[in-house]
Homo-oligomer: A and B are copies of this chain.
Amino acid sequence: MNSNPATTTPTNGAGATEVAPASSPTFSPLYQQIKALITQGLESGEWKPGEIIPSEVELAARYKVSQGTVRKAIDELAADNLLVRRQGKGTFVATHNEDRVQFRFLRLLPDDGDAHPHVSRLLECRRLRAPAEIARQLDLKPADPVVLIRRLLQFDGETTVFDEIWLPGAVFRGLTAERLADYKGPLYAMFETEFGTRMIRASEKIRAVAADAPVAELLKVTVGFPLLSVERVSYTYGDRPVEVRRGWYVTTGYYYQNDLS
C-alpha cells in the first residue's frame, strides 16, 4: 500500500514505470515518503550536522525514484532549515555551528546598527527534579531529572538578558558547569555537537512583565521595571520538546525583531 515508509525503500513502484497506486484512504505522495526517509537518516545520525549528504542522483538510485522526486523532498527539507543546498558543491545537513543563522533564535537587536556579538555569563548549572509545569512542557514525568541553567547575556557590556534554561536530564547527561563555561559559541551549537540534539524549531510566548526583586538585581534595573518575558519551548526531530527557556529582556536600546509574512 501507500502508507509505511518505515522500511528502507518507498512503498510505490517495484518496477520502474509503475507509480503511485493511490486511491487508498491514507494517500501520501512519494516525495513525502522520501522526505521521511531522509529525515530518518538525519535523526539516526547517518548524516551529521555540517556533513554532506549523498547527491540527488545517488539518493534517487538508492530509493529507486527519479531525481525530480528526490529534489522535491530535499527542497522541502531545505525550506524547513534541515538541509542547506550549495550549488556546485552538494547538499549539507544544517548546523548551529558555523552559521550566522543564530539570529534565527536570538532576535534582540540594538536600536541602531545591527551586528552584536554577545557575552554569556553563567550563573549556575545544576540538576534537580522537574517542577510539574516544566515536566509537562518537556513531556516528562513529574520529578524526572532535569538540568537548570541560569545565565546572563551582555551586549556591548550591558547586561540585557537573564535566561533560565530547563533541559531533560536523560538527554543532557554529562552537562556540567565546567563544560558550559569552556564551550565557545552558541548553546545550540554545543547541544548539537556534544549531545547530538539539534534544535529544529521553537515556539515563544511573549509578554511584558514587571521586574521582581531577584531579576531586577541581576539585570540592574529597578523593581517593577518593564521587561520582555519570553517563554520558549524548543523542539527537535519528531517535534519532541527538548528545552524550555524563560528569558527576561531589557528592551531599552534593544528590541525584539519579528517579521510577519
Contacts and interface: CB of A to CB of B under 8 A. Distances in A.
19 contacts: A81-B261, A105-B260, A203-B257, A203-B258, A203-B259, A205-B258, A206-B206, A206-B255, A206-B257, A207-B228, A207-B255, A207-B256, A208-B226, A208-B227, A208-B229, A208-B251, A209-B251, A210-B225, A232-B260
A184 interface: no
Contacts of A205: 255-258
Interface string A224-261: 11111100100000000000000001010001111111
A58 interface: no
Contacts of A105: 260
A80 interface: yes
Nearest to A232: B260
A259 B227 contact: no
Given A226-B227, A227-B226, A259 B202 contact: yes
A260 B226 contact: no
Nearest to A199: B260
Contacts of A79: 79
A204 interface: yes
A128 B70 CA distance: 57
A104 interface: yes
A257 B230 CA distance: 10
A151 interface: no
A118 interface: no
Given A203-B260, A208-B209, 8 more contacts: A107-B260, A201-B260, A201-B261, A203-B257, A203-B258, A206-B257, A208-B227, A209-B251
Nearest to A207: B251
Contacts of A207: 228, 251, 255-256
A203 to B, nearest CB: 5
Contact of A206 (B80, B200, B203, B228): B228
Most buried by B among A79, A226, A260: A260
A177 to B, nearest CB: 27
Given A258-B258, A260-B104, A261-B81, A226 B210 contact: yes
B258 A206 contact: yes
